[in-house]
Amino acid sequence: MANVRAVGWGDTAFRVILTVFAATIPLLFVALVARLTVSAWPTIRAFGFRFLTTSTWDPVANVYGAAPMIFGTLFSALIALLLAVPLAIGVAIFLTEFAPRPLRGPVGTLVELLAAIPSVVYGLWGIFVLIPLLRAYVVPPLATLLGWTPLFSGTFYGNSMLAAGIILAVMILPYISSVSREVLAAVPSSQREAALALGATRWEAVWSAVLPYARSGVVGAVILGLGRALGETMAVVMVVGNRHDLSVSLLEPGTTMAAVIANEFNEAAGLQRAALFEVGLVLFGVTVAVNAFARILVWRVARGSAVGSRAI
């Protein structure tokens, strides 16, 4: 409806009001970036690039380095992706290709229900169910078998990167799965049929015809999941241990950017607060970049529709 001229004040007023509402979005974005930068300026000026690479976080001496948090964010997200992606894509393939038709709706809804559970409830479950479970059944065998590797070294007190990674995996699974489903469903069925007509087995048809077609969309879904994992706060802060240490061991506690902000912001003042704002700025920058990249990938497959906006 490109050519409808505004005739009369009704049309103009309508458009102006709506434009104002729409303008809040870019305004919010700019305000966020500006506000975070301005508030972070004291530490940006004081530490410059070292902020991203040093590990000292000392409110008394007023020296701040965010390397442990940045590492923790990336590390926990990586664990989450390693656990969630195979499962999520498996679920998506199951639902679009193999599941009997009457099952698709209910099972799909159940998987999406995982996304409805609030982060703090995941954290609650993590503290009182997952961690005891890990402590009793999972970590002892892992520690005895693989305790010599750096990944499983150290003592397990409960709060750990492993717990955070597992919870994050459960939390991002529905997002990756639902976007992958939409992407896979958008693949024309003629692709699959062509492969089957050539004599492929059902799995081969999926693997060689459907998945490659949807590949960039699925990658986009994974990256969207990554974006989610990077920013999750409550569940992580409740199970990760909040220790400012950079350790590669899954069994040890750690911290993430989102968690440290949640933990320390209310008590912080002065330079520490600025440091937390800078952490927020870094986190914001990383999630914006990841989300933008993911959206571009998903848009390309689903042609600009709001795929994944509902889930996310």
**Cα separations in angstroms, 37 against 74, 82, 194, 260, 303:** 22, 33, 54, 18, 34
Applying CB under 8 A, the span of 33-41, 136-144, 180-188, 213-221 interacting with another protein comes to 33-41
Applying CB under 8 A, the span of 24-32, 44-52, 146-154, 247-255 interacting with another protein comes to 24-32
**Nearest residue (CB) to another protein, 244 versus 273:** 273
Structure tokens given for 285 = 């920058």
* Dihedral of the alpha carbons of 180, 184, 186, 187, in degrees to the nearest 10: 150
Q: Check binding of 41 to another protein (CB under 8 A).
A: no
Applying CB under 8 A, the span of 34-42, 53-61, 143-151, 210-218 interacting with another protein comes to 34-42
Structure tokens given for 237 = 């802060």
* Dihedral of the alpha carbons of 250, 253, 257, 263, in degrees to the nearest 10: 160
**Nearest residue (CB) to another protein, 156 versus 277:** 277
The minimum distance between CB 148 and another protein, in angstroms, equals: 28
DSSP three-state, residue 159: coil
**Cα separations in angstroms, 73 against 76, 191, 247:** 5, 39, 12
Applying CB under 8 A, the span of 60-68, 146-154, 189-197, 279-287 interacting with another protein comes to 279-287
Out of 37, 39, 55, 153, which residue is the one contacting another protein (CB under 8 A)? 39
**Nearest residue (CB) to another protein, 85 versus 251:** 85
The binding track of 99-138 with respect to another protein, each residue x by CB under 8 A or -, is: x-------x--xx-xx-xxxxxxxxxx-xxx---------
Applying CB under 8 A, the span of 74-82, 179-187, 200-208, 211-219 interacting with another protein comes to 200-208
H or E segment and range at residue 58: strand 57-58
DSSP three-state, residue 254: strand
Where in 282-311 is the site for another protein (CB under 8 A)? 283-284, 287-288, 290-292, 294-295, 305-306, 309-310
CB of 292 within 8 A of CB of 274?
no
- Residues 6 or more apart whose Cβ sits within 8 Å of residue 238: 120, 123, 124, 126, 127
DSSP string, 74-133: HHHHHHHHHHHHHHHHHHHHIIIIIS-HHHHHHHHHHHHHHHHS-HHHHHHHIIIIIHHH
Helices within 186-256 (DSSP H only) = 189-197, 202-205, 211-213, 215-231, 234-239
Out of 189, 266, 269, 303, which residue is the one contacting another protein (CB under 8 A)? 266
Q: Check binding of 28 to another protein (CB under 8 A).
A: yes
**Nearest residue (CB) to another protein, 107 versus 143:** 107
Out of 11, 53, 58, 149, which residue is the one contacting another protein (CB under 8 A)? 11
# residues contacting another protein (CB under 8 A): 99
The minimum distance between CB 155 and another protein, in angstroms, equals: 21
The binding track of 59-98 with respect to another protein, each residue x by CB under 8 A or -, is: ---------------------------xxxxxx-xxx-xx
* Rg (alpha carbons) of the chain, rounded to whole number: 23
The minimum distance between CB 150 and another protein, in angstroms, equals: 27
Where in 234-253 is the site for another protein (CB under 8 A)? 234, 238
